Chain A
Amino acid sequence: GNSVTQMEGPVTLSEEAFLTINCTYTATGYPSLFWYVQYPGEGLQLLLKATKADDKGSNKGFEATYRKETTSFHLEKGSVQVSDSAVYFCALSDRGANSKLTFGKGITLSVRP
């Protein structure tokens, strides 16, 4: 079955540091890939997505590239802000009939001033 593996957390960075959050996946077929973010006290918000190999999703300074050869979708940001403190979830959606999302465990990012 499908699965998503995220690096272990939590991650604590200083403001303006470079961020990488690793995500790898296992899927039958050719999934779409997503990063969702959960700010404190809020629900899940779509951060970015990519639907085919070599696609780069980007939003709010975050980027992730769909790497089919390494089955990865690592999230990066060049300069994090305190407001980026949140939980980040990598997810995939298979292209079958129902497109359910399979999530990774999530990783908590704390950015200190």
Chain B
Amino acid sequence: EPEVTQTPSHQVTQMGQEVILRCVPISNHLYFYWYRQILGQKVEFLVSFYNNEISEKSEIFDDQFSVERPDGSNFTLKIRSTKLEDSAMYFCASSRDRGVTDTQYFGPGTRLTVL
């Protein structure tokens, strides 16, 4: 069964450094998402992406964040200058459609630790 994959599974970085989190969505999916989950808190929406542009972003997704689909398979989340509060589990998701029957399929997540 097709699945969403994410790399790395765990990333440790120093505050102020740039990180890129990578995702490979399911191959025939058209809509892509990033969510994050700070330890012990809710899973929060960050951004949705379709047709090579951002469809919607939350207030968390400020100028330090960017997303890109650099080729036909990868979908990346970049944090330019990490802060301590960016430490979280980041989940990528994809869906084939966004109609009433669409389902978002999630990857296993990347745990980001900012020191």
Contact = CB atoms under 8 A, between A and B. Distances in A.
Interface of A: 32, 34, 36, 42-46, 49, 51-52, 89, 91, 93, 95, 97-106
Interface stretch (B13-21, B40-48, B62-70, B78-86): B40-48
Contacts of A51: 100-101
Given A43-B108, A44-B91, 13 more contacts: A32-B100, A43-B91, A43-B107, A44-B106, A51-B101, A52-B100, A97-B56, A98-B55, A98-B56, A99-B48, A99-B104, A100-B33, A103-B42
Contacts, number: 60
A46 B103 contact: yes
26 contacts: A32-B100, A42-B108, A43-B6, A43-B91, A43-B106, A44-B93, A44-B106, A52-B100, A89-B43, A91-B43, A93-B104, A95-B100, A97-B56, A98-B56, A99-B102, A100-B33, A100-B48, A100-B56, A101-B33, A101-B43, A101-B45, A101-B104, A103-B42, A103-B43, A105-B41, A105-B42
Interface residues of B, number: 27
A77 B82 CA distance: 42
Interface string B71-115: 000000000000000000001010100101111111111000000
Contacts of B6: 43
Contact of A101 (B35, B41, B101, B108): B35
A52 B108 CA distance: 29
Contact of B95 (A52, A89, A99, A106): A99
A99 B41 contact: no
Contacts of B100: 32, 51-52, 95
Nearest to A49: B103
A-B interface, 6 closest residue pairs, ranked by CB to CB distance from nearest: A43-B108, A44-B106, A99-B98, A103-B43, A98-B56, A100-B45
B22 to A, nearest CB: 15
